[in-house]
Structure 1
Amino acid sequence: MILITGGTGLVGGHLLLRLAGGTTALRALYHNEKNISKTKKLFAHYGKTAEFETIQWVNGDITDVPSLEEAFNGVSHVYHCAANMSFDPRDEAMLRKVNIEGTANMVNCALDFGVQKFCHVSSIAALGDPLIAGSVITEETEWNPEIYHSDYQISKYGAEMEVWRGWQEGLKVVIVNPGLIFGYGYWGQGSSAVLKSVKKGQSFYTTGSVGVVAVEDVTGIMLRLMESEQNAERYTLVAENIDFKSLLDTVAKGMNKRGPVIYASKLMLAFAWRADWLLSKLMMRKRLLTKHMAQTAFTTEPFDSSKIISTLNYRFTDMKPYLEKLSAEYIKQ
């Protein structure tokens, strides 16, 4: 029996798409029943409605240990994809609760129920901090606690620490650290914010860059790692390091729209995040732009995926044509 958390999200949903209808029984944890419809739509899009019906959905919450007991009964392998993402400082407690405590609960249950292997979906946000600006970031780059990190980064790093604790206690584990993940469906979350902004007419760009990857690569690599003898390893999953201007232009091309034409300077963003802070206070809404987000909009450190390429002899998807095609699909929605 395989257990997947986050099955109503991009990575978990596409992982279910790959595994459903196979020879191994499949169980997916859900917290809100209405969100299952998102995954059902994904299966329908790929003509796999029959396979969707083979999934055993179990109601549970990774922050509530008693609710996990039914989910873990008879499970041999776990793919932990569930996590929350936010860059609003007011969500610090929620991020720590779900990402760190929730992962600790999953690890503890995996140990208690004798799970054979555990795959944890982390993020490049949990990788280390280069000592020299512009240096390549790998799995070996050390985390510097003296440097400011967002609450999201800290929560993902803390989640990894829980997974490593599980390994020290005898659990076989692999960790993947994907970049910004793009894929079909789940348009209201994650990387779809990029697609949405371009559709609405994104005019501004910065000189920073970001590591991007296709969800098909992420899920395919996860499956191969779980089937392999690899243990106690983490892998950076970035198909391409792309500057924000090129990313937005590529998405715009797929939508037959104009790309951004106005350069947003550091001074401009410094004013913008302060204005957003004031508006969030006055209007009692979530932050749209924080100081950390403004700063990372200019970071250019590339991520190196050589380790996974060498380990699995893997070839990543060419992202530009992939993004153009995905953007064309998005605009149809």
Structure 2
Amino acid sequence: MIFVTGGSGLVGSFLIAELIARGESVRALYRGDVVPQIPAASQVEWVEGDLRDALGLRVALEGVTHVFHCAGLVSYAPQDETALLQVNVEGTANMVDACLERPGIRLGYVSSVAALGSKTGEQPAGPVQLDETAKWDLGAEHNAYATSKYLAELEVWRGVSEGLQAVAVNPSVILGPADWNRSSTRLFRYAYDQHAFYTPGNINVVDVRDVVDMLMRLTLDTTISGERFVLSAQAVPLRDFLSQAATCFRRKPPTIAVPDWAAETIWRLEHVRSVMTGARPLITKDTARAGRRPVEYRADKVQRVLGQSFRALPDTITWCCEGLMARKHVTEQLV
């Protein structure tokens, strides 16, 4: 029996579909009154609950052999700092404790490249390259999301020190044909809506199918424990990514670069608006400055261990665009 958290999310939904196709028995956690509408949902044993409910998690793990902890909050809004700690850190700590109470369970944890921190000191010219050996700089400034994922990973490693068999993956921006009003898939919506502006800098991306496949193989098919694996196919200029997506949609790509001074002004105005209205800012200091310092995440380790390479970005973009257009067509028919 395999237990999955975050079953309605991008990684969790594709993971559940693959586990069912593999013939596994799946139990999944969901919040709210409605069971997530995802492929193979009818073949899943759904459990209503919350990561902050430690007792509920212990009950949910009855008879479970493997856990995939995919649930997490992704936000750069200042209003969500407390929620990030509650969901990502406390929720992961509860999951680790629940696993430790049932010896023999193996945990696959979905972290983020944000938890890697950054290299300090003088760097050579060109992009900064980071891999699993990157050290978190306690003296540096980190956004709340990155801090929450770093602290959540520490909970996993704490569990490993207490006897838990666990492995973590650190994906970069995950691409997949899901709800384009949520998370990373909003990049495709931005390209489809033919916005003229883009910010200079790079974006590191990975196909959700590669994330799911590698996560499954590391958790179910190996005995590796206490290690993290970066999952990132490549770094690409954001303008190139948006242009490829727009071309795939047969839309006009962005052409106007937003200078740094403009981005700095916009996030400050958005901060004032959010404080006065209580609404979440459309752009924050962290998102405004993201990509300014060229960073490339190296995923040589996972490719070496699994003997598997990543899908090419053009193939991923085509697959995502086709899937998103199919979803849009179905939604319009229902309306």
> Above 0.5 in TM-score?
yes
Q: How far is the alpha carbon of 1:115 from its aligned partner?
A: 4.0
- 1:4-15 correspondence to structure 2 within 5 Å: 4-15=4-15
Measured on the aligned residues, the alpha-carbon RMSD in Å equals 1.4
Q: Does 1:216 align with 2:205?
A: no
Other-structure match for 2:288:
294
Amino acid at match of 1:102: G
Corresponding residue to 2:239 among 239, 245, 250: 245
Q: % of aligned pairs identical?
A: 33
Corresponding residue to 1:179 among 172, 187, 197: 172
Distance in 2 between residues matched to 1:22 and 1:329, nearest whole Å: 22
- Normalising by structure 2, what TM-score? 0.93
- Normalising by structure 1, what TM-score? 0.93
Deviations 1:149-171 (A, max 9, x none): 11000000000000000000000
Q: Is the 8 A contact 2:200 2:238 kept in 1?
A: yes
Amino acid at match of 1:229: T
Q: Is the 8 A contact 1:199 1:331 kept in 2?
A: no
Distance in 1 between residues matched to 2:34 and 2:250, nearest whole Å: 33
Distance in 1 between residues matched to 2:173 and 2:78, nearest whole Å: 21
* Count of matched residue pairs: 322
- 118-127 or 60-69, which deviates more: 60-69
Partner SS for 2:203: strand
Q: Is the 8 A contact 1:175 1:233 kept in 2?
A: yes
Deviations 1:83-104 (A, max 9, x none): 0011011111000000000000
Other-structure match for 2:132:
139
Q: How far is the alpha carbon of 1:35 from its aligned partner?
A: 5.2
- 271-280 or 95-104, which deviates more: 271-280
Q: Is the 8 A contact 1:128 1:140 kept in 2?
A: no
Amino acid at match of 1:112: E
Other-structure match for 2:262:
268
Q: How far is the alpha carbon of 1:287 from its aligned partner?
A: 1.4
Deviations 1:6-27 (A, max 9, x none): 0111101100000115443210
Deviations 1:260-311 (A, max 9, x none): 1111111110111111112212332111111121111312111100000111
Q: Is the 8 A contact 2:177 2:319 kept in 1?
A: no
Deviations 1:215-273 (A, max 9, x none): 10000001110111211110000011111111111111111111111111111101111
Distance in 1 between residues matched to 2:310 and 2:12, nearest whole Å: 19
Other-structure match for 1:31:
31
Q: Does 1:192 align with 2:185?
A: yes
Amino acid at match of 1:317: R
Structure 2 portions without partners, runs of 5+: 329-335
Q: How far is the alpha carbon of 1:70 from its aligned partner?
A: 2.6
- 1:1-333 correspondence to structure 2 within 5 Å: 1-34=1-34, 36-37=36-37, 39=38, 43=39, 51-131=40-120, 132=122, 134-226=127-219, 227-332=221-326, 333=328
